[in-house]
Amino acid sequence: MSAIHLQIVDAVAHVVLDNPAKLNAFTPEMLAELEAHCATLERNPEIRAVILRSEGDRAFCAGADIKAWAGLSPFDFARAWVREGHRIFDRLARLSKPTIAVIHAPAFGGGLELAACCDIRVMAPTATLALPEAQVGIVPGWSGTQRLARLIPEPVLKEMALFGRRLDAARAQGLGFVAEVSDDPLAAAQSIAASLATSSPRAVEVAKYQIHAAVGEDSAAMIEALGGGMIAASADKAEGVAAFAAKRKPEFPGT
């Protein structure tokens, strides 16, 4: 049975974590489902925005299911769990579509790292954020010390990762990590997503690429994607392809 559902309503996709009995904690199967949904989202040109949310009142996501990784060898833990999870979370972070995380309840460990992969976050006033990995003898592994270091000031991140302090909604918004605090964060996220209806999808996509290139989020690919898009629209590209097909020397117009 799937624990991550993909629902599409009009032009907005909802990626829904649905494992509330385990506080939506990630299993290997859930990681695979998330990756498959990301591929589906990337291939659908009709989708204008993605909302990431979860079911259940007790947690947005409690991170990784301890039972899924506790018995792994050090090698398998590093390769099959940490690196694989990191790669799949990166896939979410680098979607071409704008993404919004709805944090209606605590987001701990991998749950916080998951929310950090989204472009913006909306949070309930009673929700909290934490990196409790040190309390079970591990360290953040799905970008908690990397991507979060670009989104949260270093001293605050150290409070969380080293000292186990929790971040409440008001402080998270004050730091800029959360875009909006709302008693109904899903409604707020839906309103934000609806605002994209009057924006150019291609302009939004390219703006996301530009920002990612500036902050180091897969900057090499982002720079080459932007350059590729620019040259693909040129007369030189059209002439080069035509000349190749005709087996003649190209005469580039320089436009």
Which of the residues are catalytic? 113, 133
Rounded to whole angstroms, how far apart are CA atoms 184 and 24? 20
DSSP symbol at 135: G
Bridge partner residues of 171 (DSSP):
none
Helices (H), 66-218: 66-69, 74-76, 84-93, 110-116, 147-151, 154-163, 169-174, 185-194, 201-215
CA distance linking residue 195 with residue 49, whole number of Å: 10
- Give the burial string for 85-110 (b: 16+ CB within 10 Å, else e): bbebbbbbbbbbbbbbbbbbbbbbbb
Give the CA distances from residue 40 to residues 33, 43, 235, 240, in Å, rounded to whole numbers and listed in that order. Answer: 11, 5, 32, 32
Measured between its terminal Cα atoms, the distance across the chain in Å is: 54
Structure tokens at 138: 């591990």
